[in-house]
Amino acid sequence: MSILLEKHIIELLQDRDDKAISLLYKHYGDTLYGVAYKVVRDEELAQDILQESFIKIWKKSDTYDATKAKLFTWLFRITRNTAIDKLRSVNTKSDKEIQIDVSDVYNLGVNSTRPEFMDVQENLDKIEPKYQMVLDALFFQGMTQQEASDELNIPLGTIKSRLKIGLRELRKIYGDALSLMIILSLTL
């Protein structure tokens, strides 16, 4: 690209002239698309990023300073940063999505939920009362650890310790299957 054309585009950008965007797209669009694609490796996403980048370029046109960077360098940075942000956003969103089709929770079947594990509340009396109170508050009254601490007037650290010890005592009664039952009761 000639220096005169670049200066003309910069002037149009600073004057907020619509012609600047079409000239930018014509002369830099393919290259900036390549920058976006190199980051995300997805054609459709790269096209979205290119469009978002041009919107940012238009909105930030008054911040461009020719003494700090060449026009292409400025365009490149905006496009690359937009692509990186979009990639992070997509990855974060997919990490947060619940993937029921790969979850084992719903595939336990009748054999995994045995009746002898359904009477946990009735067997709490087999452990010390201080652990009973904490387990009852957390699992059967639905309190959070902080709520149990406030309600029972017991420090939060003590609640956590008694929970851990109480579960260990129940495991002695029920075996390792108790852990699965507790996890299921908390998630369902």
* pLDDT tens digits, one per residue of 90-138: 776 655 555 544 444 444 444 444 444 456 666 677 888 898 888 878 8
The pLDDT tens digits for 50-92 are 999 999 999 998 888 888 888 998 999 999 999 999 888 877 6
Give the pLDDT confidence of 133-145 residue by residue, as tens digits: 888 788 777 778 8
Q: What are the tens digits of pLDDT across the range 151-188?
A: 889 999 999 999 889 888 877 876 655 555 554 444 44
3-state secondary structure of 41: coil
pLDDT at 167: 83
pTM over 0.85: no
Q: Give the C-alpha separation, 178 to 78, whole Å.
A: 53
Measure Cα distances from 74 to 8, 81, 147 in Å.
Answer: 16, 11, 53
